[in-house]
Structures are given as structure tokens and as C-alpha cells.
Amino acid sequence: MASVIYLPSILKMATVAESVAGWLFTVGSFFFLVADLMEWNHYRPACLSSRLCGGTWNLGFNFILSATGSLFYLLGSIYFIPSVANLFYG
């Protein structure tokens, strides 16, 4: 939905569209982060108490990378909100 709002023909229609799209991106990326953290929390006890991780750090490291990527995605999407971007780029 937010990506469609950023199409040039739609963006020319209203300046409010930028704010809506920025907030939709931010909310969506927040839920990506929440999903990654919930998945990590689900597998964490089994990974720590058994050999589910394959006896190595592979699965835990994968979850950390996924959550870190989602965190960066969330931080980057915050800059799509015009009022936030204006604070830094005036």
C-alpha cells in the first residue's frame, strides 16, 4: 500500500500521501521486527536446552541477523515520514 502511494502520479495528488506512506512503511517495518523477535523467542528455549541448533550457533546467529536487519529496516523507514526527515534535512 505504501509503495503504491510513492508512485509519482499518485504523489502529485496530495502532500498528505507522503505522510501516510511514511507511516505505513514505519508500522509495517515495526511488525517485521516484532515477528522476528517473536520467532527468536519461540525457538530460544529449545535452542539453549537441546541440539536443535545443530550443536552450533547457526540458528541463533540467523535469528540475530534477521532481527538486526529488521531493526535497520525500521530505522530507515522512519526517515520516510516527512516530519522526521525535515528534522534532519530541513
pLDDT per position as a tens digit, 11-55: 555 567 777 778 888 899 999 999 988 988 887 776 666 555 555
Say how many domains are in the chain.
1
Secondary element (H or E) of residue 26: helix 16-49
- Residues near 75 by Cβ (< 8 Å), separated by ≥ 6? none
pLDDT tens for each residue of 58-77? 667 788 888 999 999 999 88
- What the block records as the C-alpha cell of 81 is 515520514
Range of the domain at 74: 2-89
The label of the residue with cell 505522510 reads 19
Q: Distance of alpha carbon 40 from its chain centroid, rounded?
A: 15
pTM over 0.75: no
Distance (Å, whole) CA 34 – CA 84: 22
- What the block records as the C-alpha cell of 70 is 529488521
- What the block records as the C-alpha cell of 6 is 510513492
